[in-house]
Chain A
Amino acid sequence: MARYIGKEMSRVDGVAKVTGKAKYAAEFAVPNVAYGFIVNGSIAKGAITAIDTQEAERVAGVIRVFTHLNTPKLGPKPASNEQAPPRGAQEEEDKSFRALQSERIFFNAQPIALVIAETYEAARFAARLVKVTYSPEPHVTDTETVREGARQPKQGPPPKPRGNPEEAMRNAPVKIEAEYRIPIEHHNPMEPHGAIALWQDEKLTIFDKTQGVYSLREHLASTFGVPPENVSVVSPFVGGAFGSSLRPNYYPALTAMAARELKRPVKVVYTRTQMYTGHGYRPYTIQKIALGAEQSGKLSAMIHEAVHNTSATEEFNDNTTNFTRQVYACPNLFAPTRITNTDLSTPVWMRAPGAVSGMFALECAMDELAYELNIDPLELRLINYADVDPESGKPWSSKALRECYRLGAEKFGWKDRKMEPRSMRDGRFLVGWGTATGVWGAFQRPASATITLRANGTANVASATSDIGPGTYTMMAMIAAEYLGVKLEQVNCELGDTKFPRAPSQGGSQTTSSVGSAVYGCALAIGAKLLELANQDAKSPLKDTAADDIEMLDGRLQRKSDTSRFVRIADVMKRHRLAEMTETHESKPSPERQKYALLAHGAQFVEVKVDPDLGTVHVTRVNELTACGKIINPKASHSQEIGGVVWGIGMALQEATEIDHRYGRIMNPNLQHYHVPVNADIHAIETSFVEEDDKIVNPLGVKGMGELGMVGIPAAIANAVFHATGKRVRELPITPDKLL
Chain B
Amino acid sequence: MNEEFHENSEPELSADEEALLNEMPALADVGLTRRRFLKQTLAGSLGLFALDLLAHEQALAALSPSPGAVFADKTAENLVKLALKVNGVTKRLEVDSRVVLLDALRERLGLTGSKKGCDQGQCGACTVLVNGRRVLSCLTLAATCEGKDVTTIEGLAKGDQLHPMQAAFIKYDGFQCGYCTPGQICSAVALLEEARRGDVSHVTEDVSATTTQLTNEQISERMSGNICRCGAYPGIVAAIQEVHSGKKTAQTWGFVDDQQLARVRKEDGNAAV
Contacts and interface: CB of A to CB of B under 8 A. Distances in A.
Interface in B65-106: 65-77, 96, 98-99, 103, 106
B122 A272 contact: yes
A512 to B, nearest CB: 14
A564 to B, nearest CB: 16
Contacts of A192: 116-118
Interface in A541-573: 554
B200 to A, nearest CB: 15
* Residue of B43, B107, B182, B273 most packed against chain A (CB within 10 A): B273
A538 interface: no
B233 A60 contact: no
B69 A263 contact: yes
A670 B231 contact: no
A642 B120 contact: no
Interface stretch (B11-19, B129-137, B205-213): B11-19
B152 A20 contact: yes
A32 B61 CA distance: 10
B171 interface: yes
Contacts of A680: 203, 217, 220-221, 224
Interface residues of B, number: 116
Nearest to B24: A487
A689 B178 CA distance: 25
Contacts of A237: 177-178
A187 to B, nearest CB: 8
A16 B50 contact: yes
Contact of A189 (B20, B44, B170, B177): B177
B114 to A, nearest CB: 7
Contact of B268 (A120, A191, A402, A639): A402
A6 B254 CA distance: 11
Given A19-B46, A60-B76, A262 B69 contact: yes
A46 interface: no
Interface in B112-147: 112-120, 122-123, 125
B14 A639 contact: no
* Residue of B119, B225, B235, B267 most packed against chain A (CB within 10 A): B119
B22 to A, nearest CB: 12
B43 A15 contact: yes
Given A680-B221, A686-B252, A688-B254, A16 B116 contact: no
Interface in B34-58: 37-38, 41-46, 48-50, 52-53, 56-57
Interface in A116-160: 117-122, 125
B73 A60 contact: yes
Given A16-B46, A29-B61, A262-B69, A403 B261 contact: yes
A686 B234 CA distance: 10
Interface of A: 3-4, 6-24, 27-32, 60-64, 117-122, 125, 187-192, 198-200, 207, 234, 236-240, 242, 261-264, 269, 271-272, 387, 396, 399-400, 402-403, 406-407, 410, 468-471, 487, 489, 492, 494, 554, 625, 631, 634-647, 670-672, 676-680, 682, 684-691
B166 A406 contact: no
B253 A687 contact: yes
Contacts of A679: 219-221, 223-224, 226, 228, 233, 236-237
B117 A17 contact: no
* Residue of A18, A20, A676 most packed against chain B (CB within 10 A): A18
Given A20-B182, A272-B122, A554-B25, A403 B264 contact: yes
Contacts of B157: 19
B173 interface: yes
B132 to A, nearest CB: 19
A690 B256 contact: yes
* Residue of A20, A125, A468 most packed against chain B (CB within 10 A): A20
Contacts of A686: 252-253
A119 B94 CA distance: 13
B190 interface: no
B231 A687 contact: no
A63 B68 CA distance: 13
A8 B170 CA distance: 12
A207 B60 CA distance: 12
Contacts of A125: 98
Contacts of B267: 406
Nearest to A406: B264
B173 to A, nearest CB: 5
B21 to A, nearest CB: 10
21 contacts: A6-B255, A8-B16, A15-B162, A19-B46, A118-B74, A119-B76, A122-B76, A125-B98, A239-B115, A239-B178, A263-B65, A263-B67, A641-B253, A671-B123, A677-B233, A678-B225, A679-B233, A679-B236, A680-B217, A688-B253, A689-B253
A191 B114 CA distance: 12
A682 B74 contact: no
A636 B231 contact: no
* Residue of B103, B153, B272 most packed against chain A (CB within 10 A): B272
* Residue of A60, A625, A639, A687 most packed against chain B (CB within 10 A): A639
A687 B252 contact: yes
A396 B273 CA distance: 8
B96 A121 contact: yes
Contacts of A494: 52
Contact of B255 (A21, A122, A682, A689): A689
A670 B138 CA distance: 15
A10 B177 contact: no
Contact of A199 (B66, B152, B171, B225): B66
Nearest to B95: A121
Contacts of A682: 220, 231, 233-234
A553 to B, nearest CB: 9
Closest 7 CB pairs of A and B: A20-B113, A646-B231, A239-B179, A17-B178, A469-B177, A489-B41, A469-B176
B4 interface: no
Given A20-B153, A639-B176, A688-B253, A191 B46 contact: no
A13 B113 contact: no
A21 B50 CA distance: 7
Interface string B216-252: 0101110111111111111111000000000000001
A685 B252 contact: yes
A61 B117 contact: no
Contacts of B229: 187-190, 240, 242, 676
Contact of A19 (B17, B113, B252, B256): B113
B45 A14 contact: yes
A120 B37 CA distance: 45
Interface string B163-191: 00011011101011111111001000000
A10 B17 contact: yes
A9 B14 contact: yes
B196 interface: no
Nearest to B106: A27
B154 interface: yes
Nearest to B12: A10
Nearest to A673: B122
Contacts of A684: 234, 252
B215 interface: no
Nearest to B13: A10
A119 B96 contact: yes
B176 A264 contact: no
B110 interface: yes
Given A23-B53, A272-B117, A407-B260, A471 B176 contact: yes
A190 B176 contact: no
B231 A10 contact: no
A410 B178 contact: no
Given A189-B177, A487-B24, 13 more contacts: A18-B178, A18-B181, A18-B182, A20-B112, A20-B154, A121-B99, A234-B56, A407-B256, A625-B256, A636-B173, A678-B224, A679-B228, A680-B221
Contacts of B178: 13, 16-18, 22, 237, 239, 469
B253 A638 contact: yes
Given A61-B76, A190-B125, A643-B176, A676 B106 contact: no
